[in-house]
Structure 1
Amino acid sequence: MILVTGATGHLGTAVLHTLLQRTAPSRLAALVRDEHKAADLKAQGVTIHQGNYDDLASLERAMQGVEKVLLISGGGEDEALQQHYNVVDAAKKAGVRCLAYTSRALRDPHTLVNQLMERHFQTEAYIQASGLPYVLFRNILYMDVLPLFTGPRVLETGIQLPAGAGRVAYALRSEMGEAIANVLLTGPCDNRIYHFTGAESYSFTDVAAALTAASGMDVTYAPAESAVFAAQMQERGVPELAVQRTLGFLTDIKNGQEADVSPELEAILGRKPTGLTEGVKMLYNL
């Protein structure tokens, strides 16, 4: 039995999509906050457990009879790190044989500006200290976030971000979910760390060029100053916490944190991951 937490979120949905194609639904379980959102999974034969990372009793119930648990990292809440610890503790108590975790592919955790990312490596350390056999998936920034960074009117306004010439080895979330599912089904639980990235890294100049080619419009990238960018976000009414987190992501990109390329996603997929040109066409409906 494989239990997927956060099963109705974007990544959880992608993982289960592949799992349902490649194994019997009777082997699959899902931990969800809202059972109504999991109606489709239930209809396909997946066992549904209602609960959350704060409810230790629900975690322990969900893990009974489970061999592998995929802990999909929580959101931006302050209590997310403790929630991760709760899942690890419940898995150990239930005698789970393999704990997998969705972490982040970043060059140097010790020099991150975006402190939100630090909890991934704290969670990794907690898992490693637990004594549980584990698999860690260090995932690069999703290509799917590009429209959020560039804004809905990017074809008219171009791209102005404080990311300098920083590069990102973007990969599609759906392909990361597929690769994670492949490892859960066929890979050994041998305390391995996978680095899942695209086959190439791209700057925002490359993103602008891809948008230009796909749309036929002249899209440019102009690096912005962080203070100016922050002021513009504040003027639009973006909450201060969201402003700082966005700046953190972009500054880390500028500093090369997301630039490293690994062949492991391609190896697990058995094909080259979707590149920027095709990804942009899909994500921007071009």
Structure 2
Amino acid sequence: MGKIIVTGASGAFGKAAAELLLERCAPEDLVFLTRTPDRLKHFAEAGAEVRAADFDDPASLPQAMAGGERMLLISTARVGTRVGQHRNAVEAAVSAGVDHIVYTSLMAADAPDNPAIVKLDHRATEQIIEASGAAWTHLRDSQYSEAIALAMVIPALAAGHKPDNCGDGKVALVSRDDCVASAVAVLTQDGHRNKAYTLTGPEPISIPEALGMAAEIAGKPITIEQVDDEAMFAYFDSLGVPRHASDIVPDGPIPWSSDDMVTFGTAIREGFFAGCTDHVERLTGRPPRALRDIMLQHRGAWPQ
């Protein structure tokens, strides 16, 4: 049997997947790819292979993929410009003999009228994998609970208020750890070839309701200001967030763009993230974690 490859293994998702795979598999059956091998010395010391790989350098990839049978392709952070990176990775993997590619996609990536521009990258990558000749599994993640509990809640608590364009749209927030466990399950079990799974948490909740939960846990008020999309753009402009992915400064202080976040809010408002599935429990054998649980876990990082 060939090896399991994890791309982006020095990122948060990749590192968590690598750690879980080491609990389930013989280390010699695991290959972890990263642009920064020095950061993964502990995995190499545990017996896994750590290989240098850069999706922007296609010539580096066939050697990095050699001997792999299944690959977890974790979407890179470059919204708007990552499809080329993903294409390089898929083509190199297939040419090296990888037979099954598991991809971290987005809920409703295949909905043609989903206004979230981030879905364009994900659906394009899904189609590249589907056309590659390898078997595929698309893991279509909902929004991460951790993104709410940290990136959204912390500044909202600090300011005491937050503008929001999601309206009363519901989103079944999912823990990143549950998405990692689902990915590892697909990589280590049979029966998941050429299937798509939508990974959600246990209950749909609106963003105002989620921030209300955080305010209650923290004992501090958060006032939600319901705004339209243009006012949301203006808010991000005031923070110095670039409008478009093409405006993002590489390795700069803000790695995302406002058109990504505003259109994601539009998609929530219009109901594209409201559905719930039992796919996490079916894949992992345990129910997904609730948002309150994630908030309590990260409460120590909140402003006092």
Same-fold call, TM > 0.5?
A: yes
Deviation of 1:190 after TM superposition, in Å, equals 2.1
2:276 to 255, 261, 265: 261
Deviation of 1:228 after TM superposition, in Å, equals 2.3
- % identical aligned pairs: 29
Q: How does 1:1-286 map to 2 (within 5 A)?
A: 1-106=3-108, 109-146=111-148, 147-154=150-157, 157-241=160-244, 242-285=257-300
Question: CA-to-partner distance for each residue in 1:162-192, whole Å, 9 max, x for gaps?
Answer: 1111111111111211121122111335211
The aligned counterpart of 2:252 is: none
Count of residue pairs brought into register by the alignment: 286
Deviation of 1:232 after TM superposition, in Å, equals 2.4
Q: Is the 8 A contact 1:98 1:189 kept in 2?
A: no
Matches of 1:79 and 1:180 in 2, distance apart? Answer: 24
Deviation of 1:253 after TM superposition, in Å, equals 1.2
Matches of 2:40 and 2:110 in 1, distance apart? Answer: 37
Question: CA-to-partner distance for each residue in 1:7-65, whole Å, 9 max, x for gaps?
Answer: 11111112112111111111111110011121222222220110111222321112211
SS in 2 for 1:38: helix
Decide whether aligned partners of structure 1 residues 232 and 119 sit closer, same or farther in structure 2, where only a CA change above 3 A counts.
closer
SS in 2 for 1:152: helix
Matches of 2:118 and 2:137 in 1, distance apart? Answer: 22
Decide whether aligned partners of structure 1 residues 222 and 31 sit closer, same or farther in structure 2, where only a CA change above 3 A counts.
same
Q: Is the 8 A contact 2:157 2:220 kept in 1?
A: no
Q: Is the 8 A contact 1:107 1:256 kept in 2?
A: no
Q: Is the 8 A contact 1:107 1:258 kept in 2?
A: no
Matches of 1:121 and 1:243 in 2, distance apart? Answer: 20
5+ residue gaps, structure 1, are none
Deviation of 1:277 after TM superposition, in Å, equals 1.3
Matches of 1:86 and 1:20 in 2, distance apart? Answer: 27
5+ residue gaps, structure 2, are 245-256
Q: Is the 8 A contact 1:150 1:159 kept in 2?
A: no
Instruction: Give, as a single letter, the amino acid of the residue that structure 1 aligns with 2:243.
Output: E
Matches of 2:23 and 2:94 in 1, distance apart? Answer: 29
Instruction: Give, as a single letter, the amino acid of the residue that structure 1 aligns with 2:162.
Output: I
Q: Is the 8 A contact 2:156 2:222 kept in 1?
A: no
SS in 2 for 1:240: coil
SS in 1 for 2:56: coil
Q: Is the 8 A contact 1:76 1:116 kept in 2?
A: no
Higher mean Cα deviation, 101-110 or 53-62?
101-110
Decide whether aligned partners of structure 1 residues 97 and 120 sit closer, same or farther in structure 2, where only a CA change above 3 A counts.
same
SS in 2 for 1:3: strand
Matches of 1:131 and 1:20 in 2, distance apart? Answer: 28
Q: Is the 8 A contact 2:109 2:123 kept in 1?
A: no
Matches of 2:109 and 2:29 in 1, distance apart? Answer: 36
Matches of 2:28 and 2:61 in 1, distance apart? Answer: 19
Higher mean Cα deviation, 191-200 or 70-79?
70-79
Q: Is the 8 A contact 1:158 1:208 kept in 2?
A: no
Matches of 2:270 and 2:37 in 1, distance apart? Answer: 41
TM, length-normalised to structure 1: 0.93
Instruction: Give, as a single letter, the amino acid of the residue that structure 1 aligns with 2:201.
Output: G
SS in 1 for 2:108: coil
Q: Is the 8 A contact 2:109 2:140 kept in 1?
A: no
Deviation of 1:77 after TM superposition, in Å, equals 4.9
Higher mean Cα deviation, 183-192 or 92-101?
183-192
